């Protein structure tokens, strides 16, 4: 344990989660990475010189609470939590099965609730005025028919962020969310590899390019910092102007 504040980033093995961890480390945090990918999260933690790498299925509430027990026992109290872990699981709406829908909700929404509640309880018990950042999406506001559970979960994250912010304000624990647009991640690799699909995606993005994972990580780090000390209950959309676009041409 050190004097540095401690942060947990879920889904930290790659992509946006890795970038969030990198930005927080640069801001002076000790960072613990958690991911269901054991090999990936271990390598990410080594590459970043992170505090620890933990394996956790964020869709399993017992596993989430066990992870928080381990963190408290071995590393101390968290000052920041980044709920980044998530899945999309696309499929045709008419054929979309309930098992798949439940799995997405379990990870993307229920997991965020369980982790937020537990982190907040621990912060209150330790007297820490902390910050929690949840990963939402522009699909909290707009929709893609092939990812019904994902869209529903991210809308839920947006509202859960507001609820938690109001509930925790008296403890000076701030809760915000970030809503990425088209970001250059593994999830977007198929679009990037298809020139026509990429052209369509960029036609919806006024800045004309995908965002980078670090551009998301920097916003997350800002929301965890004292520079954002009067911001809570907000979803900051990092989308290159997409939500403001009235039409494409």
Which of 96, 150, 230, 247 is labelled catalytic? 150
Which tokens sit at 99? 């098992």
To the query of whether residue 237 is one of the catalytic residues in this protein, the response is no
Q: How many CA atoms lie within 13 A of 237 on its CB side?
A: 18
Nearest to 121 by CA among 109, 130, 112: 130
Cα–Cα separations (whole angstroms), residue 156 to 104, 135, 172: 12, 11, 23
Q: How far apart are CA 174 and CA 221, in angstroms?
A: 13
Nearest to 135 by CA among 119, 117, 153: 153
Give catalytic residues, as residue numbers.
Answer: 150
């Amino acid at each position: 344990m050190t004097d540095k504040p401690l942060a947990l980033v879920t889904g930290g093995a790659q992509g946006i989660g890795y970038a969030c961890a990198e930005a927080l480390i640069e801001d002076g945090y000790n960072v613990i990475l958690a991911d269901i990918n054991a090999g990936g999260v271990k390598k990410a933690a080594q590459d970043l010189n992170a505090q620890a790498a933990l394996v956790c299925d964020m869709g399993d509430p017992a596993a989430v609470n066990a992870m928080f027990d381990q963190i408290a026992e071995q590393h101390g109290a968290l000052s920041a939590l980044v709920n980044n872990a998530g899945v999309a699981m696309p499929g045709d709406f008419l054929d979309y099965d309930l098992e798949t829908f439940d799995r997405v909700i379990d990870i993307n929404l229920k997991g965020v609730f369980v982790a937020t509640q537990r982190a907040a309880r621990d912060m209150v018990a330790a007297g820490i005025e902390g910050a929690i950042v949840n990963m939402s999406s522009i699909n909290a506001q707009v929709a893609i028919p092939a990812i019904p559970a994902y869209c529903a979960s991210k809308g839920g994250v947006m509202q859960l962020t507001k609820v938690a912010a109001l509930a925790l304000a008296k403890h000076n624990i701030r809760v915000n969310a970030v809503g990425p647009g088209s970001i250059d991640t593994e999830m977007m690799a198929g679009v990037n590899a298809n020139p026509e699909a990429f052209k369509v995606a960029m036609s919806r993005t006024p800045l004309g390019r995908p965002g980078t994972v670090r551009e998301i990580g920097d916003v997350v780090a800002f929301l965890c910092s004292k520079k954002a000390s009067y911001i809570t209950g907000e979803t900051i959309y990092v989308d290159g102007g997409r939500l403001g676009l009235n039409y494409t041409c």
